[in-house]
A and B are shown apart, each in its own frame.
Chain A
Amino acid sequence: MTKKITVIALLFILSVSSYAQENTKKFWLSGLSRGVYSLDELKGEETDTTSASKAEYGHTLVDLSANIRPNEHTYIRTTIRVRNDYGGFWGSGTTFDLRELYLRGLIANSVRYQVGDMDYKLSPFTFYNNNEDLYENTLGIFNMYSEMMHYDYFFKGNNTWRQQGLATDFSLSFKKGIEELQFNLFTSRINPSNFSTVSDRVFFGGNLTMVQSDQFSAGLNYINLTDVAGTSNNLNYFKNPVLTGTYKANAIQGDFKFQLDGESGFSKSFTENNEDPDNVVKENLVEDYFNYSTFTTDYAPLNLKFTIAYRNVGQGFRSAGAQMRRLKFATQGFMFNRYTNEQIVRPIGMWDIHNDPTLYNSQIQVGLAEFYPQYNNIDPYGLATPNRKGLDFDLIHIDEQNRYSFSLQYGMLSEIVGLGVDDLKKFNTLSANLDLNIENMLPIYDKQILIQLGYTNDQTKRTGDQDFIQTELNTQRIYAGITLELTDKLYYLAGYESIKASGDDYLANRDRNDVIDDFTLFETELSEKIIGMGLRYEFDDKNNLQILWQDYNWSNSVLGTEDYGFDRLSVIYIMKF
C-alpha cells in the first residue's frame, strides 16, 4: 500500500513538474542521489574459522524533493526517498519513505511560520544538538560516512535537532531606546501517546532577544519538555523547564575588537504524581543553575582571535534539549558484531562511531545518557555537561595569504562536587590543529596541496589520600592528512589517525530517578589506528566520485579480548541537484 501511494505521489510530482516548467518559480525539483559500495574485511585472529571475514554491501538512493511555491509568501517542500540496498533486484529490498514534509510562509509580511518538519535550536544550554564524539577535526577521508549519516539524520552543520511541529518568528522595531525585539517560538511533539501508559510528550519554548544596538543585545530563552496531562491513563507527568538569559556586548578600540557574551540560567526536572513502589510520592526534583561567559579579542592586523570562556554548570542542571547525545551508548556494533572462534562480542571502536548509523539518536530523550569516556570524558553533554566549572582558552590564527591556519585550545575544568568523595576531578584538555596550504607557499604552483596536522590530549585526574580515590584517564589523538590535486578536479587523499586512551575513572550509574546509586570503575588501555587513502574526482561543486581504502586496527588489553581490525574499499558517488 505504501509503495502504491509513493508511486502515485512520484507520478504526481513528475506531472506537476512538467506543468511547472511553464510556470517558473512555482515548482521545481531538487534533491540528492547517492551510490555507495563497500567491501569490508574483518581482521581478527588468524585461527578464526567461525566468523565470516568479508562483507560487501552498499546502496543507491535518491532523495527527490518537490519544492512548491504557490504564492510569494508560501513555500512547501516534500522529499521522498527511494532506496535500494545492494543486492536488491526487481524491487526486492527497495524502500520508499516520505523523508520530510513542511510548509512555511509569511503572514502579513511580518510573521514567519513553519509547520511540519523543521530544524531548530536555541542555545547550547537549552536546545542544541552537540556534535558526536570524534567528529570535530576528523579528516575528511575518515568522515565520509559520518557526513552521510549526518545528512540522513538531518544533523546539519549548525547543530539543530530535526523536530516535527510548529515554529514562528517575528520582530518588532522601535525608533528609540532599542532597535528591535525578536521573537522565536516553537513547539514539537517528542513522544506520542499510546493512550494507555505513555503520555504525549511535547517540547516547546522560545526566545526573546532585545537588540539594543550593534553593540549590545540581550535575550531570554525558555524551553520545557513536558508530558501532557490527560493524553493517557498515566498520572505521572515529567517536566523539565529551563529558563536562561543571554547577553552580548562588543566594542572596537583601534585594531582590537572585543566581545563579551554569555548565558546564565537555571533548570528544574521533576515528575508530578510519581510514586515509588511503596506508594510514596517522590517528585525527584533536580534543580540547579549555570553561568557561562566568553570574552573574545580580535586583533585585526594579525588576524588573531583569542577567546577565554568561563563556565559553572551545576551538578543538578538538566536540560534535555541540550544534553541529549547524538551518539547512543552501545557495547556491540552492528557490523561484524561477533568475532573469534568463541564468537565473543566485538567491542565498539571509533570505526563504528564513524560508520554505524544504528549508533545515532534521532530524537530527544530524557536523562543523562551513558557515554564513551575513552573518547570524551570531559564534555560528553557539550557545554551543558553538568558538574563542571573552569576556564577554556582558544587561540585562532589564519594567515592573511591563507598559507596556513592554526588553532590552539586549552581547557582547565573541574567538578563542582565530587563523585563518591569530596575530592574533585580535574579535567585538562589541550588541542592543536594546523592546516598548511602548500600551494600558497609556492609561487609557481597552482594545484591544491593541503596538509592537516592535529593533536588533542584529554586528561581526567583525581588525587586523594587513598589509592582508590586516585584515578587518571588520558586520551591522546593524533591525526595527519594530505589532499593533493593531481590534475584538474582529481584529488589524492591520504590520512592517518591514532587514538590512545589509558587509565581509569569511576563513572556514575544513575537510577530511573536520576539519582546516582553506584559507580562503575572504567578501565581502558585502548589503541586505535586508522590509515586511509583514495581518489576523489569532482565533476563539479555538487557532484563527485570517491574511491577510498581504509585500514583500521583496534586493541584494548584491559578487556582481554582479541585485537581486531577492518580493511575497507569503498566507492562513493554523490550528486546534488
Chain B
Amino acid sequence: MKRLLYILILGVVFSSCEREEGFEGPSLIDQFGDFNIVDSLQISNANIDFADGETSFFMAEFSKSVNWEIKITGGISGAVKIISGSSRIIDEENTSWDGSTTNLPMFKIEDCSVDLTVSYNINASDTIISVADSLISVASLSLTTTKVNNGLLLADFETGLDPNWNIFIQSGGNMSFNLVSNNSPQGNSYYDMGGNVDWDWLIGLTDFPAEAYGSSTFDLSDNGDKVYFNVMLNMPEGLDNPPIVLFQFREDDNSNGVFEEGLEDMYAIEIRDLAPGWRLVSLKYSDLTSLNNGAPTDPEGNGIHNPDLLNKVSVLMLAQQGGGYSQTLMDYVIFTEDQPFNP
C-alpha cells in the first residue's frame, strides 16, 4: 500500500508542474477571424500640456489582432506622428505619446487630427480577403504646449541672430545669411545660408563660441560616447550646385580658454548629399574625426574626444566654386546626452 502511495505522490508531483497557457503557433483568429471593433478609439488626454510633463495615449480593442496605425497630424504645422503596432488591444503600453514627431516638422501649439487605420485578413467563403489600411476611427486633440526638449540648445533661430555668434559671409552674389519665418521644422524661424561665390568653396560660416553661452567651454559630459550633436538641415529644390555643410568642433584641450590651432583637437564632419526636405542629422560626438581638406587625419591635440572641453562649434557653408548658387537651410542646433535628439 505504501508503494502505491509513493507512486501516487510521484504522479501528483509531476501533475502539479505547470505548463505555459495559451496556444502554440500564430493565432488562427488573427489570420482568418472576423474583425469587429470591441471598444472604439479613445484618447486618454485630449488637451495635452507637454511642458507640464503630461503625455497621452490611445485606447481601442478589436476582436482579433490586427496591424494598426495611429496617425496624428498637426493642423498648423502639418507635423505627423505615426504610432503603429500589431495587437488586439491598443493601450498605454503600445501608444504612449510624448509629443514627438515621426517626420519633421515638429508639432506646434495646435489642434491635431487623429486617424486610426487597420489592416487584416478575413476568411469569407474559404477565400482569404486582405483588408489594408482601413480607416475605422477619427478623433482630435489639442496641444496646449509643445514637448520639452532636453539638451544644450545652441540655436533655434526664433529670437534673431545672437550678436555673440561670429558670422562671416563671402563677397558673392545673392548672399542670404538671414532668418526666414516660413515652414520651419521647429518653431517659426530657421537660418537660411546661401549665395554664389565663383572664386572660393566657402560661401559663409557661423561660429557658435562657448563664450556666447556663458563659459569658455560648453556644459557637456566628458564622455564622447554619450554626447550627440543634432541639427536640422534642408536643401531647397532646384539647386544646380549642391551644398556641403562642414561642422567643426574645436576643443580647448589645455583649458587655457582658447583653441590653439595645431596644438589642440579639432573634429569635423562634412554633410553632403542633402536632399530637398527637412532632415535631422544626429552625430555621436565620439564618431567625429579630424579632417584635413575633407580627408581624415590625426588630431593635433590630445587625441581624445572631450565634449566638456569643446570651445567652439563652427558651421561652414561650402559649395563647388563656380558651380552657381547654392543654399542650405538650418534649424535647431542642439547637443543631447545619452541618445540622439527625438524631435
Question: CB within 8 Å of B: which residues of A?
Answer: 216, 245, 247, 249, 260, 262, 264, 288-289, 291, 293, 312, 314-316, 387, 416-422, 466-469, 506, 508, 516-519
Contact check, A289 vs B7: say whether CB atoms are below 8 A apart: no
Q: How far is the CB of B16 from chain A (nearest CB, A)?
A: 10
Residues from chain A with a CB closer than 8 A to the CB of B32 are 466, 468
| Complex CA distance for A216 and B24, rounded to whole angstroms | 39
Q: Is the CB of A468 within 8 A of B26?
A: no
Q: Is B10 an interface residue (CB 8 A)?
A: yes
Tell me the complex Cα distance, A387–B11, Å: 18
Asked if A264 and B11 make an inter-chain contact with CB atoms under 8 angstroms apart, the answer reads yes
Interface centre among B10, B14, B21, B23 (most CB of A within 10 A): B23
Q: Give the residues in chain A near B11, CB-CB below 8 Å.
A: 262, 264, 291, 293
Closest 6 interchain pairs by CB? A516-B25, A420-B28, A418-B23, A468-B32, A264-B14, A291-B14
Provide the bound-state CA to CA distance between A262 and B123, in Å. Answer: 45
Q: Which of B1-17 contact A (CB under 8 A)?
A: 3-4, 7, 10-11, 14-15, 17
Nearest CB to that of B30 among chain A residues? A420
Task: Type the 1/0 row for B39-62, where 1 means its CB is closer than 8 Å to any CB of A.
Answer: 000000000000000000000000
Whole-angstrom distance between the alpha carbons of A420 and B65 in the complex?
13
B33 interface residue (CB < 8 Å to A): yes
B178 at the interface (CB under 8 A from A): no
Q: A421 and B24: CB pair below 8 A?
A: no
Known A-B contacts A288-B19, A466-B29, A468-B123; A417 and B24 likewise in contact (beta carbons under 8 Å): yes
Residues B51-82 near A (CB distance < 8 A):
none
Q: Which residues of A contact B15 (CB under 8 A)?
A: 291, 312
Q: How far is the CB of B100 from chain A (nearest CB, A)?
A: 27
Chain B residues near A314 (CB, 8 Å)?
A: 19
Contacts of A516 in B (CB 8 A): 24-26
Beyond A421-B23, A467-B123, 5 extra complex contacts between A and B, CB < 8 Å:
A316-B19, A421-B27, A422-B22, A469-B28, A517-B26
Question: Which residues does chain B contribute within 8 Å of A417, judged by CB atoms?
Answer: 19-24
- Specify which of B14, B17, B21, B26 is in contact with A519 (CB 8 Å cutoff): B26
Min CB distance B231 to A, Å, is: 31
Chain A CB within 10 A, most for which of B20, B21, B22, B28: B28
How far does the alpha carbon of A506 sit from the alpha carbon of B34 in the complex, in Å?
Answer: 18
A515 to chain B, nearest CB (A): 8
A312 to B14, CA, bound (A): 10
Contact across chains for A508 and B123 when beta carbons are under 8 A apart: no
- State whether A519 touches B25 (Cβ < 8 A): yes
Residues on B with C-beta less than 8 A from A418 are 23-24
Inter-chain CA distance A314–B15, complex, in Å, is 11
Q: Is the CB–CB distance between A421 and B29 below 8 Å?
A: yes
Q: How far is the CB of B10 from chain A (nearest CB, A)?
A: 7
Q: Tell me which residues across on chain A come within 8 A of B33, comparing CB atoms.
A: 466, 468
**Nearest chain-A residue to B123 (Cβ)?**
A468
Minimum CB–CB distance for A265 against chain B, Å: 8
CB contacts (< 8 Å) of A420 on chain B: these are 23-29, 31
Query: Taking the nearest CB of chain B, how far is it from the CB of A312, in angstroms?
Result: 7
Write the nearest CB–CB distance from B106 to chain A, whole angstroms.
32
Which residue of chain A has the shortest Cβ distance to B34 in the bound complex? Answer: A466
Measured CB to CB, the closest approach of chain B to A435, in angstroms, equals: 35
Give the residue of B7, B26, B29 whose beta carbon is less than 8 angstroms from that of A518.
B26
Query: Looking across the interface, which residue of chain B has its beta carbon closest to that of A508?
Result: B25
CB of B34 to closest CB in A, whole Å: 7
Say yes or no: A419 contacts B25, CB within 8 Å.
yes
Give 6 CB contacts A-B under 8 Å: A247-B10, A291-B15, A419-B23, A419-B25, A420-B25, A468-B28
Q: Name the distance in Å between B28's Cβ and chain A's nearest Cβ.
A: 4
Shortest A425–chain B CB gap in Å is 11
Identify which of residues 98-153 in chain B touch chain A, using a CB-to-CB cut-off of 8 Å: 123
Contact A387 B24 (CB under 8 A): yes
Knowing A417-B22, A421-B23, the reply to whether A519 touches B28 (Cβ < 8 A) is yes
